[in-house]
Structure 1
Amino acid sequence: MNLIEYPDRDMLAINLANLLAGELKATLLSHDTASIAVPGGTTPGPIFDALCAAPLEWDKVMVLPTDERWVTPDDPRSNARLIREHLLVGRAAEAKFLSLHGTGAHPEDDLDAIAAQIEPALPLSVLLLGMGEDCHVASLFPGTPGLAAALADDAPALAAMAPAGQPEARITLTAPVLDGALKKHLVILGWEKRDALERAQSLSPEEAPVQAVLSEMNVHWAV
């Protein structure tokens, strides 16, 4: 794990956006396409606002969420909505978006179909993750039924999750897919999350799922 500290959140967003753009551009020098998985939530918004203006061949870039709530794509809680409104604009509007939404009543209904759609993006060229104070990443929450299977080395690309205390079921990339990204970045803001990350390093992945992806991870932190 490589911890990078920034003087403020604005500098983090700008520098990290430039770094992500550079990694995508470098991938395209030797590959026909590049892929990047990104989180929802409020943390990545400023990063997306800067990244979308990057001068690269966006028509060769595949963008997908790290996870998705089982809601309609236009729901305010949809990760896809945040990504479309903040990242897939400007120059980045030419990127190909790989949605994790499905048409079934439950995530389990559409896992195979969605997995087939994201297969061209794997392994991920670049991964951007956020982390909760409970040390969850994507929709891998501690204590959730099925977590151990989603953390396993032989886990399929996607898993359905129903975290306790969350209003919706979820679909998520599993630990092997997240950890298998060629470039990995984790953004944490504030002392609470930095303290949580430090605690996670002495816990098991079942207790702190972020632990499953920390190897060779670049952690970007600002107060």
Structure 2
Amino acid sequence: MTFNEYADQDMLAIEVANEIAGDLKTHLLHHDAASFAVAGGTTPGLIFDDLCAADIEWSRVHVMATDERWVAADTARSNAAMIHGRLLQNRAAEAQFLPFHVPQREPEDVLAELESLVVPELPLSVLLLGMGEDMHTASLFPGAAGIDRALAADAPPLVVMRPDSQPEARISLTARVLDAAIAKHLVIFGDAKRRALEQALALPPETAPIQAVLSETTVHWAP
């Protein structure tokens, strides 16, 4: 793990956007396409605002969320909505997007067909993760039912998670898939998340799921 500290969130966003753009360009030099899995929530928005204007062959980039809440894509809690609104703009509008939510279906019923779309994209070329103060990442929540399977070395690419702390079911990439990404970035803001990350280093992944994906990850922190 490498830890990078920035004076403020704007500086972090510019630098991380530049690093991710470089990662994608490098991958595309040697491959027909690049897969890019991104966190949802509020953390990556500033990065996306800069990254979407990067001079990349975006038509060769395949974007997916690290996880998705089982809500309609036009609602505020949808990661797809945030990704479309902040990342898939400007030059990045040419990227291909792989949605995880399927309207009027249950997540368990579509898991196999979604996995068939995800597997050809593996290993992920570039990964952008976030982390909660509870040390969860993607939708891998500590203590949630099914977390052991999601963290297992032989886990499937995707799992359905129904954490008690959340109002809806979620589909998430598993720790095995996240950890195998070629270039990995974790972005966290604030003292509370920095302390949580430091605490996670001494805890097992079942208690601190972020711990399962920190190997060779570049962490970016700003107050």
Code of the residue aligned with 1:142 in structure 2: it is P
Code of the residue aligned with 1:138 in structure 2: it is A
* CA shift for structure 1 position 21: 0.4
**Aligned residues of 2:70 and 2:170 also touching (Cα < 8 A):** yes
**Aligned residues of 1:153 and 1:176 also touching (Cα < 8 A):** yes
Question: 1:112 is matched with which residue?
Answer: 112
* CA shift for structure 1 position 119: 2.1
Structure 2 gap ranges (5+): none
Deviation track 1:64-87 (CA, whole Å, cap 9, x = no partner) reads: 000000011111100000000000
Question: 1:34 is matched with which residue?
Answer: 34
Deviation track 1:1-43 (CA, whole Å, cap 9, x = no partner) reads: 1000011100000000010000000000000000110011111
**Aligned residues of 1:104 and 1:110 also touching (Cα < 8 A):** no
Question: 2:217 is matched with which residue?
Answer: 217
Q: Equivalent residues in 2 for 1:103-142 (5 A)?
A: 103=103, 105-142=105-142
Question: 1:91 is matched with which residue?
Answer: 91
**Aligned residues of 1:135 and 1:208 also touching (Cα < 8 A):** yes
* CA shift for structure 1 position 105: 3.9
Aligned equivalents of 1:96, 1:20: Cα separation in 2: 17
1:63 paired to 2:50: no
Q: Equivalent residues in 2 for 1:165-204 (5 A)?
A: 165-204=165-204
Q: Equivalent residues in 2 for 1:141-156 (5 A)?
A: 141-156=141-156
DSSP-derived class of the 1:148 partner? helix
* CA shift for structure 1 position 121: 1.6
In the comparison of the two structures, how many residue pairs are matched? Answer: 223
Aligned equivalents of 1:174, 1:138: Cα separation in 2: 8
Deviation track 1:154-194 (CA, whole Å, cap 9, x = no partner) reads: 00000000011211000000000000000000001000000
TM-score by length of 1: 0.98
Deviation track 1:114-152 (CA, whole Å, cap 9, x = no partner) reads: 111222221100000000000000000001000000000
Structure 1 gap ranges (5+): none
DSSP-derived class of the 2:212 partner? helix
**Aligned residues of 2:52 and 2:89 also touching (Cα < 8 A):** yes
Aligned equivalents of 1:87, 1:59: Cα separation in 2: 14
Code of the residue aligned with 2:196 in structure 1: it is A
* CA shift for structure 1 position 104: 5.1
Question: 1:18 is matched with which residue?
Answer: 18
Question: 1:54 is matched with which residue?
Answer: 54
Aligned equivalents of 1:20, 1:69: Cα separation in 2: 25
Code of the residue aligned with 2:206 in structure 1: it is E
Structure 1 vs Structure 2: percent identity of aligned residues? 61
Aligned equivalents of 2:5, 2:140: Cα separation in 1: 25
DSSP-derived class of the 2:36 partner? strand
**Aligned residues of 1:62 and 1:95 also touching (Cα < 8 A):** yes
DSSP-derived class of the 1:46 partner? helix
